[in-house]
Chains A and B, each alone.
Chain A
Amino acid sequence: MTSKIQPVFIVGTGRCGSTMLSNMIRDHSGILSVSEFLVSVTDFAGRIAKTFPEGRPVDAHHVWDVLAGFHPRQTVMLRHGVEMDEMLYPLASTSRFTRQTGVPAILYVTLPHLTPDHDTLFDELHDYVMTFQPDLAFRQYVRVFEWLMARFGKQTWVERSGGSLRAVPRLAKSLPGARFIHIVRDGRDCAISMSKHTGFRMMMACTIMNQVLGYDPYETEERTGVEDLPDQFYHLLPEHFSSQAFANLDAPADLFGHYWSGEMMRGLKALDELSRDRVLTIHFEDILAQPEPCLRRMVEFIDPSLADGGWVRRAAGTIRPARSSWRALPAARQSALTDACAPGFQALSRYGFQRDPDAVPPSTPWFAGLRQKVRQATTLTKFVGVRPALALAKSRLRRAGTAAVSPV
């Protein structure tokens, strides 16, 4: 493993437009795009403890079991035909892996995202991983990324997984040099999208089942207290899973609005504890409105030597408008969803990242910075009062030093 490369993770609450960035980065000549690694190997965040055992070295077999395992949530869903839209592995009857066999975690998205010859790559990766000596889990996964980076002739790598904002404390602690690009999208649009997304619906269903039962029914055969599960969740237990029950799962946007707020509150707090040069915050709406400055800023943050005007123009040309907007909802639902997202918006204001939803980003960096600072000061004062806002601003200036990265 080379130690010169500073890991970069694109993080967000999920359904915030970050998949689009992975697809753009894949076409950059110098950056390896590692897509959906964290979400796949943790089986929708259900296997975080197993994937990243803290302070304990893991050997080659453990690493391969994480990368190539047939993880229970993904496998059950696959067998019932409810995989995520993002899945790239071809589920043909002639494929090496099928719905019946299950698909190794890293073959769901990560390897097919890089090459159509993903099965060969999978075998090569196996041979490489088997050479690993015991080491901390994160270091082992960084070895995998760096091997892939070399394999595809790139100079650096960027990992991006849906909903990985919650992983920031663990990533920052385990990889002290790690830096983060935080993609922020209006929580109301995120929540609507999550409520329709297979992966988020499964994650929410598992969260609810785990809390009702007090254990994870996808990781144990224990079934104590299963009578407490409401019917709709009973039919999502692995042994009773029904695609119809999954389709009927009542998980509305309001619920995900609360979830988005929670993720934002926790994620912003974690990012705020890092030095400013380790974090770049970009609003998804700004990427849509003014893609080129946003993409330039992103690449400069990843590695200034990889700035590439041609790539920026090509990537900007692939941007398509968002498919849904909270503004299309009836007024009562808009109001309920806005209420659910309010704590998240307040957190964004508190940390200086609230975006005026009607704003069009200015084109000059000087004006952008001034306008942003005025807006931050106004919103911060509105939510926390004048004195705390002044105190917070002073503290942030002290910590930022000379390395501040202005949010878009």
Chain B
Amino acid sequence: MTSKHFVTGGTGFVGSNLILELLGEPRTEIYALTRAAGQSAETRLKSALRHAARAAGHDEALDDAIAERCHAVEGDIHRENCGTSAGSFPRPDQFWHIAASLRYEDRYAAEIFKTNVEGTRNALALARSGGVGRHFNYVSTAYVSGSRMGVIHEEVGSGQSANNPYEASKMQAEALVHQSQDLGPRIFRPSIVIGHSITRGVSSGFSGLYGFIKRVLRLRQLLDRIQDGLASRAGLRVIADPAALLNLIPVDVVARQMVRISRSPSRAQVFHITNPTPPLAAEVSRVIFRELELPQPVMVEDSSGMNWIEQKVEEGLGFYKSYFRGTRLFERENSDWALGVSVPEPGYRLDSATVSEYVRWYTDVLRGTTDLLPVAEAAAA
């Protein structure tokens, strides 16, 4: 029997990998809400999926499945009923709401809430108007834990404070989904999603770890622009907890676990899609600094005695600072029960050599786009 899935955010990083995972089941049809931005919704969707397939190491064989079993539904989560109608696609067995704004800055707060909260409200309305066979699956973030540290449970929380508008918007969206018990809601909370566990590739949306790498890279370029060689001479102090863990998880692992949980009989509603054996944040930052040919940062507890450059680095890390402060242990009881895990997941293993490969993959991409060059040289290139 054919299973039908409706997906928002199918052209994004997690969404496209989820669709590739769903296509692994031969009798699956995908209906993906897609904006027509500069090209038709159909063209945009299939181009994004083919790109994601290459990044994930799939050959052209998967292109046939993309062409035949993926269908764009033109629309936009910012509009009422997502700018479409339930009659424009078959009643899905599973509804996946993944589209989101990954911005976090205060100055974008209105836009972030519009996309993440109102967009979720519109997605719920669309699902309700057409009906959902089994579940409304919402992809949230493990960082709805906000400023809370220690063990983070798989439950819809309340009372925790958000570090930024992004986290606040995801908390509100989770609450909306949780209230929609008529749709069989499930909330998936991935941690920091990185590239494919085998290819290390990322097809789109260089946020999270990649945003951090890019910031460090820009810092290096800026220092060298101000003074040749300054970056390699200026050892930096950064505020970090040496015991903090950086919960990185490869995108294919996220997609695989979400799809498997969606097919499970679990009655739980919140699932942490996180790495149970994450690397130390300090080790990851050491690898990043080494790969970017910067002196190793010195971890300190506070900003006393920092020079101007170090203070600016501290400010510039913005959102990413919370990754390096305090330790969160994400409980996975619901996820592990639903997955029936007994075999270790190789994608969890993120030692220094593996993290280096992820970082190098991204810096190679940047080199290919001249992003590693100083601006003046890039302009002349």
Contact = CB atoms under 8 A, between A and B. Distances in A.
Do A and B bind? yes
A210 B379 CA distance: 11
A300 B361 CA distance: 59
Interface in B309-325: 309, 312, 315-316, 318
Interface in A313-344: 336, 343
A123 interface: no
A234 B223 CA distance: 20
Interface in A37-68: 48-49
A211 B227 contact: no
Interface residues of B, number: 32
Contacts of A343: 227, 233
B196 to A, nearest CB: 23
A255 B106 CA distance: 27
A49 B225 contact: no
B228 A266 contact: yes
B214 to A, nearest CB: 7
A258 B107 contact: no
Interface in B322-381: 371, 374-376, 378-380
Nearest to B111: A227
A230 B318 contact: yes
A262 B228 CA distance: 6
Contacts of A216: 375, 379
Contacts of A212: 218, 222
A150 interface: no
A212 B307 CA distance: 20
A254 B312 CA distance: 12
Interface in A218-251: 227-228, 230-231, 234, 250
A175 interface: no
A293 B199 CA distance: 70
Contacts of B293: none
B215 interface: yes
B226 interface: yes
Contacts of B103: 227
Interface string B128-170: 0000000000000000000000000000000000000000000
A289 interface: no
A214 B307 contact: no
Contacts of A48: 376
A258 B227 contact: yes
Contact of A258 (B108, B226, B371): B226
Contact of B380 (A49, A210, A227, A255): A49
Given A211-B218, A262-B228, A49 B379 contact: yes
Contact of B307 (A231, A259, A336): A336
Interface string B217-232: 0100111011110100
Contact of B375 (A210, A250, A265): A210
B227 A228 contact: no
A49 B379 CA distance: 8
A231 B105 CA distance: 9
A227 B109 CA distance: 12
A185 to B, nearest CB: 17
A332 B226 CA distance: 22
B308 A252 contact: yes
Contacts of A210: 375
A259 B374 contact: no
B117 to A, nearest CB: 18
Contacts of B312: 250
B308 A254 contact: yes
A228 B215 contact: yes
B307 A207 contact: no
Given A228-B215, A262-B230, A266-B228, A211 B222 contact: yes
Contacts of B215: 228
Contact of A214 (B211, B230, B309, B378): B378
B307 A254 contact: yes
Given A208-B222, A228-B211, A230-B315, A262 B308 contact: no
Given A49-B380, A255-B308, A259-B226, A211 B375 contact: yes
A265 B105 contact: no
Contact of B226 (A207, A214, A215, A234): A207
B228 A227 contact: no
A182 to B, nearest CB: 18
Nearest to B372: A214
Interface in A171-221: 207-208, 210-212, 214-216
Contacts of B226: 207, 255, 258-259, 262
Given A211-B225, A261-B227, A49 B307 contact: no
Given A250-B312, A262-B228, 12 more contacts: A49-B380, A207-B226, A211-B374, A214-B218, A214-B371, A216-B375, A228-B214, A230-B318, A231-B105, A254-B307, A266-B228, A336-B308
22 contacts: A207-B222, A211-B221, A211-B374, A212-B222, A214-B218, A214-B375, A214-B378, A215-B379, A227-B105, A228-B218, A230-B316, A231-B105, A231-B106, A231-B107, A252-B308, A254-B308, A254-B309, A255-B226, A258-B226, A262-B230, A266-B228, A336-B307
Top 4 closest pairs, chain A to chain B, by CB: A262-B227, A210-B375, A211-B222, A254-B308
Interface of A: 48-49, 207-208, 210-212, 214-216, 227-228, 230-231, 234, 250, 252, 254-255, 258-259, 261-262, 265-266, 336, 343
